[in-house]
Amino acid sequence: MLTSPGSQIWLPDVLYSGRLLRDSSEKVERGVFSSRSIRMAKARTGHWLSILAFSLILLKTEGFYVGITYVDSAVAKGAVCLDGSPPAYHMDKGFGAGINNWLVHIEGGGWCNNASTCLARRDNRLGSSKQMVKQIAFSGILSNKQKFNPDFYNWNKIKVRYCDGASFTGDVEAVDPKTNLHYRGARVFLAVIEDLMAKGMKNAANAVLSGCSAGGLTAILHCDKFRALLPVSTKVKCFADAGYFINAKDVSGAAHIEGFYSEVVATHGSAKNLPPSCTSSLRPGLCFFPQNMAQQIKTPLFIINAAYDSWQIKNILAPGVADPHGTWHYCKLDIKDCSSSQLEAMQDFRVQFLSAIKGLIGSPSKGMFINSCYAHCQTEMQETWLRDDSPVLGKTTIAKAVGDWYYDRSPFQKIDCAYPCDSTCHNRLMDWTFVRKAWDKWISTSIGSSGEPLKAALLINYDPTGPSRLLSTIAEQEGIRAKPIEVNQFVDFIKRNNLQSESFFIGQNQYLVTSIHDGWFCARCMNTSHPAGEGAIVMQTTSFILVALYDGSIGSASRAMVDVDQFAWQLGRKNL
């Protein structure tokens, strides 16, 4: 969740952050805690230590950190991220029998369709290698443990960071001097592959191009190109995880995603880097959809996708622009909360998805694992890739299906029955019913115009594995009417990790951070008209950022802190 402050542990599917409470005497000196909060802090220290210890154990067994590599030589070739910084990737070297095998996995991150949306990405990790964390954890298909990744554990495994906003298809020579935006994704892809070739991939016996979400689309669009860059003797196949985005109308009847993709292609100059077999007969924007070009891919391709892909439901079927009154809000958060009419629309979406892949069915060079989970990206997370309780089709996990298909042990083309027949699906630890009930109970006693510890609170749902900043980020709010764009700006402030030198806005109020702790920080309003002042407490949990606003002095802060910590603790018990 929060990139700062505090320690973070990336586990399969979610980010666990140990919110350790420091010595209470230190907080007394700073006037942060009341005596009541001190007692609560002491009681909970053991709880958070237990979570941290558990997280460390899981990290050790199911994931491991890998450092970043910058391709500095690419800059001279103009192969750069949106902001002009060099491309980057993380590499875990192969060993044993896998020393000459290579798995190149592309990170996801959505797309930007014009100068404004690309500018919004330019100064964060989706547009600049300067803003990328120096280490990320590998798990699932990137795991180095045979138990968790039996067919690829000892391969050279690379995760390519995504920073161009067009699935590595753009190539515009001109750079806008006003925005300094570089649309050079196609050059970045080539530069990264050339760098890996120099490090040994030119001798690869086996090679895979894979990716998640926008990275999965990259694996489809560049599959044949990847094959062509490697020696003829190399066995090459491609995996696309949650990258099969379909051209479906939204609930209002508008062709929203078709227009969006056309703008992406036009902005980035992508047409010349899309498969000619498609662009020779269709408009370039339509060739961004796998259903219009995947059938012509000559290199073997395996599709891993949920028929009810959660990103596609949220952003293709029911995007905010098609749902101005927020009717789909809770349904998009949890499929169990969908009405009968919403479920009917989602079932129709599944029918359209299956129609979009029908051209691949029966092809000896194509494989597919199409389950009926409400999910997005299933290969990077250990719990969905391979674990005792992982999703299965025909009693086969994703890891086994992909491995058997790659090594030609057996073909695999299976499509799940319709929701809700599959009992093996994961809810990604996001029990929205629990969250909403806990939230409603909490705000009834903690938030009010007078007499309560808080005047407003905002619960931000921020998923670091999500494919796009277009995802709804406001999970709940009370006493404030925050807008998604404002919340995204606040999240960007958190990501930049300059808490001590920057201010941030919540609504019309500007805040300055006054104290930073492990997993949370305090701030004071700089432009308040309130005589006693106004403050904010920002706290991280596993899956949320909780922003709590209060009126008053430090004494008010201590009351607010107790209530905020109480709610965060409830979420922590559920790893939420």
The residues annotated with a catalytic role in the active site are 213, 309, 376
Beta strands 235-241; 301-306: pairing state: parallel
Please give the Cα distance from 311 to 257 (Å, whole number).
Answer: 12
- The 3-class SS string of 159-228 reads EECCCCCCCCCCCCCCCCCCCCCCCCHHHHHHHHHHHHHHCCHHHCCEEEEEEECHHHHHHHHCHHHHHH
How many CA atoms within 13 Å lie on the side-chain side of 544? 30
Cα-based distances in Å from 354 to 80, 307, 340, 341: 37, 7, 21, 20
Residues 125-162 as b/e (b if ≥16 CB within 10 A, e otherwise) read bbbbbbbbbeebbbbbbbbbbeebbebbbbbbbbbbbb
Using CB atoms within 10 A of its CB, is residue 182 exposed (0-12), middle (13-18) or buried (19+)? buried
Name the residue among 320, 317, 312, 330 with its Cα closest to residue 377: 312
Query: Residues 66, 92: contact at Cβ < 8 Å?
Result: yes
Query: How far apart are the C-alpha atoms of 379 and 372, rounded to whole Å?
Result: 15
Q: What is the Cα gyration radius of the chain?
A: 24
- Which stretches does DSSP call E strand in 435-543? 456-461, 474-478, 503-506, 509-517, 520-525, 534-540
Q: Look at strands 509-517 and 520-525 and give their pairing.
A: antiparallel
123: nearest Cα among 159, 88, 81, 152: 81
User: Is the peptide bond preceding residue 420 cis, with omega within 30 degrees of 0?
Assistant: yes
Task: Map tokens 């760098």 to a residue.
Answer: 195
The token pair at 369 is 């694992």
Nearest C-alpha neighbor of 228 from the set 294, 305, 299, 303: 299
